Structure 1
């Protein structure tokens, strides 16, 4: 993601026409049209405000980004084979940052989108993600915290996503090269290719997906009442419907579930009281004997996660409390001005300024506008093309007070 656009970039995107000498010339109308198009694109790509870092909000679920300019992957994650020999010498720890820091602190860097991750605190400006020395080596949005560079967010969890790699195939994500679809695991937040999973059910038939790695790692996921799962998919790609619990090794309901929970659907019951008796039959030997499989969970599945003392102990120890509680995403605050042009935004800002400062600003703008018109008038009357050097000369004259 590039956040810096120069005048040359704008000119290159505007429609050009040849002048009498055969040189490509960009008209003022074309330039302004390209500027308006860029403003519309920016409003779509960056719809939220980016003036506040999320660091003070602690470990939250939020959209994350990684900077491959400020961090360097080890050789196993290098895309350029020629540089892989020295990669391990330059390698750094992975790091993630919030939406605002990706724009304010890392403009012009090679920034990749990690999408949504939970229980993560912004690393920008900390020990893991210091900016280059020429930028002050500190987060631009929390520069007052002089001790931040010595700290590290010890509860953050990192994986290959922070180097741009996804799925069990460990492939670097290039949006324009992707074929098929990718779906996100609700537990680990990694993304998987449909071709690597196998045949997928219809999107309308399930609410959340859990990858086979998470199912293997966390047995509590296999304790979910099987009547409210959609599919179990074994490694060889064969689909096995597990709604009929007797036809699989997945534990079925023990009959101790309440009638309300057996109905399924609806909103999950949050922070349910713990019971000393497990709601589901826990046949550990049968569970461990199963081949790893992917889970596609039907709507309302959170109502059917067991919250007995033993299950909750496992849930809390593995930081899986989001399985039984709300799991909201902290999104950037919507910027109501993103749909405005630069001119409209400037005028609105002018109206909020102190009256004296507003008058001074308006006077300076009027003076600059008048001087520019006078400077360009001879070009207009003679039909001469205004070149970059002419504009540079004008602004040099303004600086010198001529």
Structure 2
């Protein structure tokens, strides 16, 4: 019995193993994630010639610009700043590559040397110095025992820890049962006053912590309990949709609810053309009652940008507020990732086409040789994994032995 217990303990301590298929799937998942962040950019050409791109991956080199007032594109981060202290900023809007300009101390860009001294339309925040959130900590945080989830404001584009966005609890963030976000965009409490006009829209633009199913939509004036029997977690539905966090009958409680006189009456959307205002009002005269002491973050529902009015009056107002990009489809992260996926699919198709063309260019004997080599490699790796002791590390000698066996089999096959 003692021996069985020791064996069980040893099994628990053994490192988990993965199959070659699982390993390849993991690599492909990492490649997809990288493509989504980089927007499908292959990192071969500097983006400076494209001007201020609507959205692109941006990096800050603290080795070259310690003050954090310069940003470079993907290609330059690889070609010009390899081995430097580089901060990955994910994506930024309307940014032009700074690499090699006056901020880089006379070190020209290797990919695009001819650049203006500065890109005056670029904007920089403390992210470029490697700090994030209201706490100003780096990410990953070397002093944190566990890295806390961070979300990006779609206005200022800063990143925030979920427990530093001005809510009583991270449970108030709209997530489904698996922890996946139910919102498309997040607007931090600092930026929300600039977007106060969004309160004029119906509750459909706001993300709720509970998914609104068909059965829920058919029932009105009922309550939903989420996260336990606490009265603070009761959400009242209005007109078939869950009340959003900006209404006074919400999960945040009275202390976090804007005063009644600070919330303008919501409009009923008019599904008319862009020339006629959907709201039927001048939003510039209906969004002045901002309660500065009740700043709350906004969580916007999926597809909310399509709802926003695009009439001339509203569009001019967005420009005055500095948020005209909110009605630009290409500005959203969702569209950015959609384009990245399309580029990735096209790249994979081209690779498959190149492989097919290569095989078609071979004669029968060459094809048989390649297929035999692939089969030998698969069998050799299979044998290695079956005979290898998972409690021991894989050494260079082990890998060398695998390829020596492959070479021996090839010699035997050709002799």
Q: TM-score, normalised by structure 2?
A: 0.53
What is the alpha-carbon root mean square deviation over aligned residues? Answer: 4.0
Instruction: Tell me, yes or no, if structure 1 residue 312 matches structure 2 residue 315.
Output: yes
Query: Structure 1's 317 and 196: CA in aligned 2 closer, same or farther, altered over 3 A?
Result: same
Mapped to 2, the partners of 1:210 and 1:244 lie a distance apart of 13
Mapped to 1, the partners of 2:96 and 2:85 lie a distance apart of 21
Partner residue of 1:138 out of 108, 111, 114: 108
The Cα shift of 1:274 comes to: 5.6
Mapped to 2, the partners of 1:279 and 1:253 lie a distance apart of 13
> What residue number does 1:66 align with?
60
Where in structure 2 are the equivalents of 1:203-242 lying within 5 Å?
Answer: 203-230=180-207, 241-242=243-244
Q: TM-score, normalised by structure 1?
A: 0.55
**Equivalent residue pairs, number:** 263
Query: Structure 1's 225 and 304: CA in aligned 2 closer, same or farther, altered over 3 A?
Result: farther
Instruction: Tell me, yes or no, if structure 1 residue 51 matches structure 2 residue 24.
Output: no
Superimposed CA distance per residue, residues 211-270 of structure 1 (whole angstroms, 9 cap, x where no aligned partner): 1111124433444444421369xxxxx888537857554334333x22x48xxxxxxx9x
Contact 2:207 2:244 in 1 (8 A): yes
- Could you say what secondary structure the match of 2:58 adopts? strand
Contact 1:251 1:282 in 2 (8 A): no
Mapped to 2, the partners of 1:220 and 1:171 lie a distance apart of 32
Unmatched 5+ stretches in structure 2: 1-23, 36-40, 210-231, 236-242, 250-259, 362-415
Contact 2:207 2:302 in 1 (8 A): no
Superimposed CA distance per residue, residues 181-201 of structure 1 (whole angstroms, 9 cap, x where no aligned partner): 111111221111111124222
Mapped to 1, the partners of 2:203 and 2:155 lie a distance apart of 18
Where in structure 2 are the equivalents of 1:3-402 lying within 5 Å?
Answer: 44=31, 48-60=41-53, 61-73=55-67, 94-130=69-105, 137-143=107-113, 145=114, 148=115, 150-174=116-140, 177=144, 178-197=146-165, 198-199=169-170, 200-202=173-175, 203-230=180-207, 241-242=243-244, 249-255=262-268, 257-258=269-270, 260=271, 272-273=274-275, 275=277, 277-278=280-281, 283-288=286-291, 291-326=294-329, 327=331, 328-329=335-336
Contact 1:53 1:101 in 2 (8 A): yes
Mapped to 2, the partners of 1:291 and 1:188 lie a distance apart of 19
Query: Structure 1's 46 and 183: CA in aligned 2 closer, same or farther, altered over 3 A?
Result: closer
Mapped to 1, the partners of 2:276 and 2:47 lie a distance apart of 33
